Structures are given as C-alpha cells and as structure tokens.
Amino acid sequence: MSNNLSEISTYTIVQDQIQMLLEVAASNPDLILRLKDVRRLKKELFDAVRELERKSAYEARMVFSIKDVAEVLDMQRADLAYIVSAYTDKYPELPKPRQRQRVDISKYLDLSRV
C-alpha cells in the first residue's frame, strides 16, 4: 500500500508543477508571446517526458523480461521494444537488454496438419 501512496504523491507533485507552469504561461498579457511561450513549453515538456519514458523503459528492461514489463504496463511488447531501441539508438554505448533464445519447436509439431 505504501508503494501506491508514493506513486500518487509523486504524480500529484508533478501535476501541481505542470499546473503552475501553465498558469505562469497563461498570465502573459501579450497574446503572441503567450502563444510562443506555450508552444515552447509544450515542446520541452514533451521532449523531457519522452526521454524519461525511454530511459525508464530501458532500465526496466535491463532487469525484467519484455513480457513482464509489457504485461504490467498493459502495452504491446512491440511498442515497448521500440521505446527501448529508441533509447539504445540514442546511447549506443549502453549494453542492449538481454534477449532470450528462441527454441525451435517445429520438430515437436506436426505441421502437416495445419
């Protein structure tokens, strides 16, 4: 239960900070400068959140299997793999997450009946 409380409080803090940023941007009486500031804020927030998402996905993948992480996040494995590969493409010096060896099970299947 304490883990959920820390997640909620962290999210609430971030949400409050975003609201404060929006209020500051909206307070500019010059409409053109306000629009310019809001567009820059939008881009910077998006870029920062995307980078944090990629880093977090990479770090989770280094510890857990792609199947487990995707299940917990309720997302497709291919989407998670893309996010992780985007991060490792940007930082090629990082080790790649370990890949599980695929087992050839075709010799155990009767493929003539398919």
Q: For 42-96, how does the pLDDT look when each residue is reduced to its tens digit (9 = 90+)?
A: 999 999 999 999 999 999 998 888 888 888 888 999 999 999 999 999 999 999 8
Domain-embedded: residue 13: no
Domain-embedded: residue 4: no
Within 8 A by CB and 6+ apart from 65, the residues are: 100
Domain-embedded: residue 55: yes
Domain-embedded: residue 85: yes
Distance of alpha carbon 61 from alpha carbon 38, whole angstroms: 34
Within 8 A by CB and 6+ apart from 90, the residues are: 54
Within 8 A by CB and 6+ apart from 76, the residues are: 70
Domain-embedded: residue 69: yes
Domain count along the chain: 1
Task: Give the residue with greater pLDDT, 74 vs 7.
Answer: 74
Which range marks the domain in which residue 59 is found? 29-96
Distance of alpha carbon 60 from alpha carbon 50, whole angstroms: 15
Helix, strand, or coil (residue 41): helix
Q: Which of 12-21, 31-40, 50-59, 97-106 has the lowest mean pLDDT?
A: 97-106
Domain-embedded: residue 80: yes
